[in-house]
Structure 1
Amino acid sequence: MSRSQLAGAQAVISIPRRETSLQGRMELNQEMARRVLTTSPIPMKTKLLHQIGLSLYNTSHGFHEEEVKRKLEQFPGGSVDLQKEDSGIGILTLNNPSKMNAFSGVMMLQLLEKVIELENWTEGKGLIVRGAKNTFSSGSDLNAVKELGTPEDGMAVCMFMQNTLTRFMRLPLISVALVQGRALGGGAEVTTACDFRLMTTESEIRFVHKEMGIIPSWGGTARLVEIIGSRQALKVLSGALKLDSKKALQIGVVEEVLQSSDETECLREAQEWLQQFIKGPPEVIRALKKSVSSGKELCLEEALQTERDLLGTVWGGPANLEAIARKGKFNK
Structure 2
Amino acid sequence: MASLLKTSSMSVRTKLIHQTGLSLYNTSHGFHEEELKTKLQEFPGGSIDLQKKENGIGILTLNNPSKRNAFSGVMMLQLLEKVTELENWTEGKGLIVHGAKNTFCSGSDLNAVKALATPEYGVALCMFMQNTLTRLMRLPLISVALVQGWALGGGAEFITACDFRLMTRESEIRFVHKEMGIVPSWGGATRLAEIIGSRPALKVLSGALKLDSEQALNLGMVDEVLQSSDGTECLEEAQEWLKQFVQGPPEVIRALKKSVSSGKELCFQEALQTERDLVGTLWGGPANLEAIARKGKFHK
Cα drift, residue 331 of structure 1: 2.3
1:19-168 alignment runs, 5 A limit? 42-168=10-136
**Residue of structure 2 in register with 1:306 after alignment:** 274
Q: Deviation digits for residues 141-171 of structure 1, max 9, x if unmatched?
A: 0000000011001111100000000000000
1:275 aligned to which of 229, 243, 268: 243
Q: Does 1:169 align with 2:137?
A: yes
Closer, same or farther: CA 166–240 of 1 in aligned 2, 3 Å: closer
Of stretches 107-116 and 234-243 in structure 1, the one that deviates more from structure 2 is 234-243
1:245-260 alignment runs, 5 A limit? 245-260=213-228
**Residue of structure 1 in register with 2:200 after alignment:** 232
Q: Does 1:318 align with 2:283?
A: no
Q: Does 1:187 align with 2:155?
A: yes
Cα drift, residue 76 of structure 1: 0.2
Cα drift, residue 233 of structure 1: 0.2
Counterpart of 1:319, as a letter, is A
Secondary structure of the structure 2 residue equivalent to 1:193: coil
Larger radius of gyration: 1
Cα drift, residue 263 of structure 1: 0.2
Cα drift, residue 316 of structure 1: 1.1
Cα drift, residue 268 of structure 1: 0.5
Counterpart of 2:236, as a letter, is R
Cα drift, residue 80 of structure 1: 0.2
Cα drift, residue 57 of structure 1: 1.1
**Residue of structure 2 in register with 1:296 after alignment:** 264
5+ residue gaps, structure 1? 1-39
> In structure 2, what is the Cα distance between the partners aligned to 1:42 and 1:135?
42
Do the aligned residues in 1 keep the contact of 2:160 with 2:188 (CA within 8 Å)?
A: yes
Secondary structure of the structure 2 residue equivalent to 1:130: strand
> In structure 2, what is the Cα distance between the partners aligned to 1:43 and 1:133?
44
Q: Deviation digits for residues 175-194 of structure 1, max 9, x if unmatched?
A: 00000000000000000000
1:215 aligned to which of 183, 192, 203: 183
**Identity across matched positions, percent:** 83
Q: Deviation digits for residues 247-278 of structure 1, max 9, x if unmatched?
A: 00011000000011000001010000000100
> In structure 1, what is the Cα distance between the partners aligned to 2:17 and 2:224?
31
Cα drift, residue 241 of structure 1: 3.7
Secondary structure of the structure 1 residue equivalent to 2:48: strand
Cα drift, residue 329 of structure 1: 1.0
> In structure 2, what is the Cα distance between the partners aligned to 1:143 and 1:159?
20
Number of aligned residues: 293
Cα drift, residue 87 of structure 1: 1.0
> In structure 2, what is the Cα distance between the partners aligned to 1:240 and 1:116?
32
**Residue of structure 2 in register with 1:8 after alignment:** none
Counterpart of 1:296, as a letter, is K
Q: Does 1:198 align with 2:166?
A: yes
Closer, same or farther: CA 240–100 of 1 in aligned 2, 3 Å: closer
> In structure 1, what is the Cα distance between the partners aligned to 2:15 and 2:213?
39
5+ residue gaps, structure 2? 1-7
Secondary structure of the structure 2 residue equivalent to 1:198: strand
> In structure 2, what is the Cα distance between the partners aligned to 1:67 and 1:255?
39
Larger RCO (CA within 8 A; separation ≥ 6): 2
Cα drift, residue 315 of structure 1: 1.0
> In structure 1, what is the Cα distance between the partners aligned to 2:160 and 2:16?
23
What TM-score comes out, normalization by structure 2 length? 0.96
Cα drift, residue 55 of structure 1: 1.7
